[in-house]
Amino acid sequence: MNLENAQNQPVKLHLDPQKSDGPTLKGILHDIGRQALASLIILVIGFFALNYSAYFQIAKNEFNKYFGNETASPLNQLVETKTPATSLTTNQEIPDLNLEIMPSDNRIVIPRIDKNIPVISTSSQSLINRDWDGLEKELMQALQNGVVHYPGTNTPGQGGNTVITGHSSYFPWDPGRFKDVFALLHEVVVGDKIVVYYDQEKYVYEVSEIKIVLPNELDVLKNTTDETLTLITCTPVGTNLKRLIVIAKPV
């Protein structure tokens, strides 16, 4: 080959589009997808770790329902409003005697979820002063010892709306023993009975309505014309996205 002709020939470069020193769009998207999936898995594991106790209750309850291992709660006997008369002889009876021992503190009993819980009262001063930070702090402290009778709402037997709120789940490092006491409140159904012991008196209610509302829907705290018991907790369990509301009327 003539060297002079060879020098005048154009140089041809063969570039492989599949081979490049820099990252491709497909590779970048793949890496982003892997990172997003890994982050999601970590978030899910962290969520269930933080709410382990509450979701253990839920899983256990679902397991028992699925395999038919449900047993009637002994608390069901407390929803009875009367104690039957006891026959002494064929021709002699004593009148109805209510010998039920009242708890020394205020309590709420929900047989459906097998819960017998102290009801804690707090001062209404923060509410009167519109000190919302102070009110929130008082409620969080009270929730360590049970469920809370919401300040400013009526008490049982007084008529109007009695509001009781409790945790469905809370931080595991919180010192309270009741941070997931309402984890199974969603299992309650219309027609269930609930008992409240307040100031040594017994009040029996029947669930009439169950609903879910947003946190800013505060009508559930308003007074009612007839006597009402309103239970409130956060839902879904482990979040504060919405509120589960259980409404009951006296029997």
Give 41's pLDDT tier (boundaries 50, 70, 90): very high
Examine residue 236 and say whether the peptide bond preceding it is cis (omega within 30 degrees of 0).
Answer: yes
Measured at the alpha carbon of residue 144, what is the angle toward residues 142 and 145, in degrees to the nearest 5? 75
- Examine the pLDDT at 154 and tell me if it is beyond 80: yes
pLDDT tens digit sequence for 212-239: 999 999 999 999 999 999 999 999 999 9
pLDDT digits (tens, 9 = 90+) for 56-108: 999 999 999 999 988 889 999 888 755 444 433 444 454 555 556 788 899 99
Domain extent listing, the chain: 72-250
Q: What is the pLDDT of residues 14-31, one digit of tens each?
A: 555 555 566 888 888 989
| Cβ atoms 195, 79 nearer than 8 A | yes
Q: Taking all residues of the chain, what is their mean pLDDT, rounded to a whole number?
A: 87
- The kind and range of the H/E element at 161 are strand 161-165
d(CA 167, CA 187): 15
Give residue 206's region: left, alpha or beta (phi > 0; psi -120 to 50): beta
Q: Phi then psi for 98, rounded to 5 degrees?
A: -100, 95
Which CATH code for domain 72-250? 2.40.260.10
